[in-house]
Structure 1
Amino acid sequence: MPDFLDKVFFGNTVARYAIFIGVLVISWILIRVISKFVLKKLSQRKEKKESSALTIIYESSRKYLVPLSYVVALYFSLQVLTLSAKTVINIRHGIVAVITMILAVFFSGVAVYVFRKYWERKHPEPQSSMAARWISGAIKILIWTLAILLFLDNIGIRITALAAGLGVSGIAIAFAAQSVLADIFCYFSIAVDRPFDIGDFIIVGAQSGNVEHIGIKTTRVRSLSGEELVFSNTDLTSSRIQNFKTMTRRRIVFRLGVTYDTSADTLKEIPDMIREIFAEVGKIELARVHFVGFSASSLDYEIVYIVPSGDYDIYLDLHQKICLLIKERFDQKAIEFALPTQTVHVVAAGVPTTTLEEQAP
């Protein structure tokens, strides 16, 4: 039996192979027992507290950390054997590749999970899901790019020249597609900042309409007259946007004028008359009503009131009711609305004008 254990195969004795197998089996058994115990405790705490953080830890440990532990145990067990330099390098490269892949999957999964939880809490609306998918993809690409660069550096490949070449290529591509890339980055800005959503009524410069689609490069708006307006995302993020969907109340200012024939006593009665009308209408808040000045052909009143709704149809219904009641009350009091008028004095040609003083005896 001792002679058999001393036999050499591929540079190692049978005894060394036995030690290698023993260390590997014992390590894997320990990992199995410990991981089963730890995962059981985590599962119990997860079900008891229903914590998203515990869910991340449990799922990540079960899918990635436990397999990674088996690979690490294999690597250290191989140290018992005497291997050629080339074999050691190949094994080390293989182990590093597996560890890098598992860690990349682990960190990308955790990062995307945390990001999606944050995104769902901040942006629960379903139309923002496409932006979440794009950002999640960008996170995965970034993590995998870093993982590949670290792997290449660990196996002895100099990545300085590669990084420089990629940098030059990236600059060239960026210059060639700068307008497209600008629109894409602006799309992410819109997705994160949410200045408007699908269905919102917005005004951009002289154009207005309801948002129908928010794309990677363009946003489509349906105007009130029916045609589709297409805006580049760069134009939208660099413009001043008025969003009426978020309006919860509307402040209205309007004026009315009465004729100069209206007496001073009647002018004093008009504000109280307007207040009674608003009290009768209800649902709105009268901020103020004042006699504000003398125009060329009218005595002007300014009325300011608040509609507790951003709905334009509700505002028009209330404003129509107010205007009809004002007309009705003015008719009852024989108060006339002022119209733009001019008084023209005509003098016959050749007739001298005289003053009253000259006609007096």
Structure 2
Amino acid sequence: MELWNSVIERFSDILSNKFLDIEIWRIAVAGIIIILTIAVRKILVNTAALLIKKFSVRTKWVIDDELIVAVEPPVKLMVLIISIYFSARILGFKVTDESFSGHIIRSLIIFSLFWAIYRTAEIIARMFYRVSKKTHTHLDDILIPVINKGIKAVVVVISINVIAKEWKYDLGALLAGLGLGGLAFALAAQETLSNLFGGLAIMLDKPFNVGEYIQFDGMEGTVEDIGFRSTRIRTPDKTIVTIPNSTIAKANIINCSRRDRRRVKFSFPIKYGTTAKQLEQLLRRIREMLENHPDIHNESIYVYLDAFGTNGLELLLIFYTRTAEYRDYLAVKEDINLKLMNILNELGIEIAIPAVNVYVENK
């Protein structure tokens, strides 16, 4: 019994000692609170979320379920902040309005609140996106991502301003006092403003939408995103190119996705030994084949003897496919080429092969 009492007294003496002018028992209790909070906060938050979901499943709205998922991480952070607050009080820190620890706690609370609002903005964007899918205009499909980014940017700016005021800093007065520095900042922001107005011009003029294939200034690809500052394009080799909106707004844009047909133009030489009668039959057969082809626009077909070329009689073919999809377009061209080969074989006409005649003069 005396041994046990001595152990207790020894342990009490250790706990009553101080580390950095803080009693050991206070540090131990604060550590236990934080460790227990980290261990059980997920269970507590998940249990609360499960209870709320039981009520939310009765509603037809999807937004309430998404809202629970969005605020879950900020709520976990808030629980940890509360445990930090009590731990600070146990350690003997004065968590008052003017104390350093008080500023830290309130800054963390402000951050968690605005973090929840930031994540909620994504839910609002998805809600508008589902509504936009029911409309026939593409403008809302472009504006929704921009509005989403704008809301998030506003939330970030406000949160930084509120946290700065918590630490007695006025960002508005700080920016106003920059003087010539503000002028330099404005000059440096000219390019950003140019890109911003370029993005607004793209959204209002709508030369292209997300998902469309465009060409301009030697660049081509599928539009993946239209933002405030730039537009992202995925090129045919599957790389992402980010281009400033001011550059695109000034370019001549070819929107390949909005055409309803593709033009095919090519020529091929026929041997000079071909008679006029054979050539007339060939031209007639080609015209009939193109006019009766289900994937060719029969109102714009041109098949003519174009020139007497170096290697043979040049035939010119111009026509339009009914499809604008590149894969289908290639399939139609392949079918036309095979049919041309069959016609040439049936008529016994050969395509001229480029050749060079060399004459050697004996002296």
Superposition map of 1:123-202 within 5 A = 123=138, 125-131=140-146, 173-202=185-214
Q: CA offsets, 1:268-319, max 9 Å, x none?
A: 1111010222244323124221111111112111111121221111211111
User: Structure 2: how far apart are the matches of 1:212 and 1:121?
Assistant: 19
User: Structure 1: how far apart are the matches of 2:296 and 2:136?
Assistant: 35
Query: Contact (CA 8 Å) 1:284, 1:306: kept in 2 or not?
Result: yes
Tell me whether 1:344 sits opposite 2:358 in the alignment: yes
Q: TM-score, normalised by structure 2?
A: 0.51
The one of 274, 278, 288 equivalent to 1:262 is 274
Amino acid at match of 1:185: F
Moved more, 167-176 or 240-249: 167-176
- TM-fit CA distance, 1:219: 1.0
- Unaligned 5+ segments in structure 1 are 1-116, 138-164, 351-361
For 1:278, the equivalent position in structure 2 comes to 290
After superposition, the Cα gap between the structure-2 partners of 1:121 and 1:324, relative to the gap in structure 1 and judged at 3 Å, is closer
- TM-fit CA distance, 1:326: 0.6
Superposition map of 1:44-83 within 5 A = none
Query: Contact (CA 8 Å) 2:261, 2:321: kept in 1 or not?
Result: yes
**How many pairs does the alignment contain?**
207
Q: CA offsets, 1:58-94, max 9 Å, x none?
A: xxxxxxxxxxxxxxxxxxxxxxxxxxxxxxxxxxxxx
User: Structure 2: how far apart are the matches of 1:177 and 1:329?
Assistant: 65
Moved more, 313-322 or 337-346: 337-346
- TM-fit CA distance, 1:324: 0.3
Where 2:215 maps in the other structure, the secondary structure is strand
Where 2:330 maps in the other structure, the secondary structure is helix
For 1:226, the equivalent position in structure 2 comes to 238
User: Structure 1: how far apart are the matches of 2:142 and 2:251?
Assistant: 22
- Unaligned 5+ segments in structure 2 are 1-131, 153-176
For 2:314, the equivalent position in structure 1 comes to 300
User: Structure 1: how far apart are the matches of 2:201 and 2:275?
Assistant: 60
For 2:323, the equivalent position in structure 1 comes to 309
User: Structure 2: how far apart are the matches of 1:133 and 1:181?
Assistant: 19
Q: TM-score, normalised by structure 1?
A: 0.51
The one of 226, 231, 252 equivalent to 1:240 is 252
- TM-fit CA distance, 1:233: 0.8
After superposition, the Cα gap between the structure-2 partners of 1:167 and 1:188, relative to the gap in structure 1 and judged at 3 Å, is farther
Identity of aligned residues (%): 27
- TM-fit CA distance, 1:215: 1.5
After superposition, the Cα gap between the structure-2 partners of 1:265 and 1:193, relative to the gap in structure 1 and judged at 3 Å, is same
For 2:222, the equivalent position in structure 1 comes to 210
Question: Rg bigger for which structure?
Answer: 1
User: Structure 1: how far apart are the matches of 2:272 and 2:242?
Assistant: 52
User: Structure 2: how far apart are the matches of 1:201 and 1:172?
Assistant: 39
Where 2:225 maps in the other structure, the secondary structure is strand
Query: Contact (CA 8 Å) 2:282, 2:347: kept in 1 or not?
Result: no
Query: Contact (CA 8 Å) 1:285, 1:305: kept in 2 or not?
Result: yes
Where 1:284 maps in the other structure, the secondary structure is coil
User: Structure 2: how far apart are the matches of 1:172 and 1:191?
Assistant: 30
Where 1:245 maps in the other structure, the secondary structure is helix
Where 1:281 maps in the other structure, the secondary structure is coil
Query: Contact (CA 8 Å) 2:257, 2:324: kept in 1 or not?
Result: yes
User: Structure 2: how far apart are the matches of 1:124 and 1:340?
Assistant: 53
Q: CA offsets, 1:248-283, max 9 Å, x none?
A: 122222212101111111111111010222244323
Tell me whether 1:319 sits opposite 2:333 in the alignment: yes
Amino acid at match of 1:257: P
- TM-fit CA distance, 1:200: 0.8
